[in-house]
Amino acid sequence: MSRSLAVHRVVLLLIILLACVLRFYRLSAQSFWNDEGNSARIAERPLQLIWEGAAADIHPPGYYLLLHYWRALCGHSEFALRSFSALVGVLTVVFTFLLGRRLFDKRVGVMAAFIAALSPFAIYYAQEARMYALLGLFSALSTYLLVAGPVHLYPVACVAGLYTHYAFPFVLLVHNLWVGLWWLRRAEWQRWLMAWAGMQVIIVLLYLPWLPIALRSVTGWPAAAQEYRVGEALLDMWRVLTVGQTLPLTQASVALGGTAVLFVAALWPRRAPGMGPAIVGMMLYLVVPVCLIFALGLYKPEWLKFLVVVLPPFHILLALGAKNAGQLVSTRPGLSVAFSVLLLLPGLFPVGVSLHNLYFNPLYARDDYRGIAALIASRFQPGDAIVLNAPNQWEVFTYYYPDRDVYPAPYRPDPSEVEGLLLPLTERYRRLFVLYWGDAESDPRRLIESWLAEHAYKATDSWHGRVRLSLYGVASLPAQPSDYMESCFGEGICLQGYALPGRQFSVGEVVPVTLFWEARENITERYKVTVQLLDGSGRLVAQCDTEPRAGLLPTDRWEEGLSLTDRYGLLLPPALPPGRYELIVAVYHAFTGIRLPVESLGDHVHIAWIEVVAR
């Protein structure tokens, strides 16, 4: 074995080890998010149910079937289920090397593998229990089999890709265009055409059982409906491919400039004889799927994951550019390799920042259903129930929380469905935990939240990623004040009275406070209402702050003459000492926090004294 070959092998092994470390590092640090929960629960089903379930899903069954067997071998923990994608991501690095070496040379293959190993975009999906890392692998594997063989395995890889994701036809179209251009250079094109057509027929026949379902699913996809400028969208795609989703454009300028230089160098006219078709093939591989994303109306930030299919050509062309630039500086192998590596170094810092964000920055963390379930479990009491505003939260939530007193709402419910779900719950339970996720899609009219704002008492509201957890108390719903008053906050917001169902409450209970407002004039500013509980020394021990009608009717929409019945829940902390406490109400500016004055009363209104007792 030559020294050069030995060095290449050692470097390649180190790159593969690096890819493993980056993909398995902190693999279970974050919670499963919504779609990962779907993967976990689908994979636990029998094979027939997986097939039938995928028929009603927007994804084919291939990934779920493989994850089913992986789960049987490795378990169903977060680490176990995600480790399948992590391993697949490492294999994609290997096939990126093999493809780069086959089309160009070992140096290009090794550098492409190094870039792929560090790719934040690839690492993100290699740490997710979804099918996107597998889609990327079949993209690289099928392309490698196309150019290197064995050819009889090519249809198998393509069919596997088709059963993995509906974006894989992008890759098939690239292959057909590439082979079509190659035929133009062959003298015996008819024989090659027959062989290629035969492989396409095999692919179609193997996919035929699923083809009607695929056509129904794809044609039923809604358009992205995302307004964008093509130039800005292309720049966003370039950013994601270069430094991933967690680095803003302002921090990625150095890396983007560097990759632009490398792409120019990759397409530089001076190249080795016979390299032209390989470069054309890689450009088709990169450009055609991007064009299809725009042509089919699939561009929006949430769907940039489809770009995993173009990661292999993107990394290979960057590596080719680095090699070409090195050879422009010097024809001596050692110097040209050193300069090629030097060109890659400026991109390491932004990539490192992006990876740090991916691993540690909570702004980019997945939705924390694990934390939500733990929080609910720590506060759950007899007489509590849990409502999921989007039905597809059920899989991920019940992965972490037993399916007990959990009620998923219908998808896009109408008012009668909301009433049918929530009214029996308010008759049976004392408190409701509600998980709001994807309101714009699952409940665009916010009917669930509106119904609860009128028929329950919201006590808490907290965000966990993109999921909002609210706690409501359930009690009687007075339609008029039990105690009247005439207290005006500022010039136009007048409190006419309040209602309390009693004066004694237990720790951990939600105190239901109903306030009756009147607008004396048109209100142009947004104000929040705070209902607070003070101990004997005036110290704050509990509070509920929100805009009126649980945030659904802000004061800047109040018109003169408006009368509003408004309900607030005040959660009594479990550790609150028993005793006598004062209940007050104040109104403050939503953005400055400055309280409105109350005529001759300061900046708040006394409501009542209540007695807190132990449970």
Confidence of residue 344 (pLDDT cuts 50, 70, 90): confident
* Per-residue b or e along 160-193, where b marks 16 or more CB atoms closer than 10 Å to that residue's CB: bbbbbbbbbbbbeebbeebbeebeeeeeeeeeee
At residue 189, does pLDDT exceed 70? no
At residue 230, does pLDDT exceed 70? yes
What is the reported pLDDT for 265?
86
What is the reported pLDDT for 343?
67
At residue 1, does pLDDT exceed 60? no
Find where tokens 């506060």 sit.
379
Find where tokens 């802000």 sit.
554
Kindly state the tokens that stand for 465.
């990623």
**Higher pLDDT, residue 601 or 431:** 431
Q: Looking at 324, 341, 364, which one is the last position of a domain?
A: 364
Confidence of residue 360 (pLDDT cuts 50, 70, 90): very high
Q: Looking at 473, 492, 513, which one is the last position of a domain?
A: 473
Closest alpha carbon to 82 in 128, 41, 43, 133: 128
Kindly state the tokens that stand for 498.
């309040």
What is the value of pTM for the model shown? 0.91
Element (H, E) at 608: strand 605-613
The residues, ordered by sequence, that sit 6+ positions from 569 with a Cβ below 8 Å of its Cβ are 456, 457, 458, 459, 460, 471, 472, 473, 510, 511, 512, 513, 544
Number of domains present in the structure of the chain: 3
* 3-class secondary-structure state, position 408: strand
Confidence of residue 8 (pLDDT cuts 50, 70, 90): confident
Confidence of residue 359 (pLDDT cuts 50, 70, 90): very high
Query: Per residue in 98-136, pLDDT tens?
Result: 999 999 999 999 999 999 999 999 999 999 999 999 999
Q: Does some domain include residue 478?
A: no
Q: What is the mean pLDDT of the chain?
A: 92
Q: Does some domain include residue 560?
A: yes
- Between vectors from CA 82 to CA 77 and to CA 84, what angle results, nearest 5°? 115
The terminus-to-terminus CA distance of the chain in angstroms comes to: 79
What is the reported pLDDT for 333?
60
Closest alpha carbon to 561 in 508, 518, 511: 518
Q: Which domain holds residue 311?
A: 3-364
Q: Within this chain, do residues 409 and 555 fall inside the same structural domain, yes or no?
A: no
Q: Looking at 364, 392, 416, which one is the last position of a domain?
A: 364
| C-beta contacts of 474-481 below 8 A and 24+ residues apart | 474/426, 474/429, 474/430, 474/431, 474/432, 475/501, 475/510, 475/512, 476/501, 476/512, 477/514, 477/567, 478/514, 479/565, 480/516, 481/514, 481/516
What is the reported pLDDT for 224?
62
What is the reported pLDDT for 483?
93
Kindly state the tokens that stand for 213.
């379902």
Q: Does some domain include residue 502?
A: yes
Confidence of residue 184 (pLDDT cuts 50, 70, 90): low
Q: Within this chain, do residues 231 and 86 fall inside the same structural domain, yes or no?
A: yes
What is the reported pLDDT for 2?
66
Question: What distances in angstroms separate CA 500 from CA 457, 475, 512, 569, one per listed residue?
Answer: 12, 10, 7, 11
Range of lowest pLDDT (36-50, 339-353, 556-570, 589-603): 339-353
